[in-house]
Amino acid sequence: MSFLHPLACLFSGMILANAVPHFVHGISGDRFPTPFAKPPGKGLSSPTTNMAWALANLAAGYVLLRVGGLASGGDATKAAFFAGIAIIGLLSSRLFATKHNP
């Protein structure tokens, strides 16, 4: 197993976890920040943009999951996948804690 497998799983976890809030806001019809908002990551994007961003994240995360071999990989790939979810989850919780404050 190459060091690239856990790295792919790390990024897969980050990207798949990032898809969740965009999917939920998009399917709920709510506006939510995306990289395409003005200013990027701070302004609010339409629900359609959030759905498109969520679907792009799901596709990219799935590809990285397959490349990383999570299902057949060892503990390092599973730990890296979980670490990716934890990292993006904690960073996002801090970043978006003030998204409704002026």
Give the pLDDT of the chain (102 residues) as one tens digit per residue. Answer: 687 889 999 999 999 999 999 999 999 999 999 999 998 878 899 999 999 999 999 999 999 999 888 878 788 889 999 999 999 999 988 887 876 665
Beta bridge partners of 45: 32
Which pTM does this prediction carry? 0.86
Q: Which residues contact 95 (CB under 8 A, 6 or more apart)?
A: 41
Q: How many CB atoms neighbour CB 85 within 10 A? A: 18
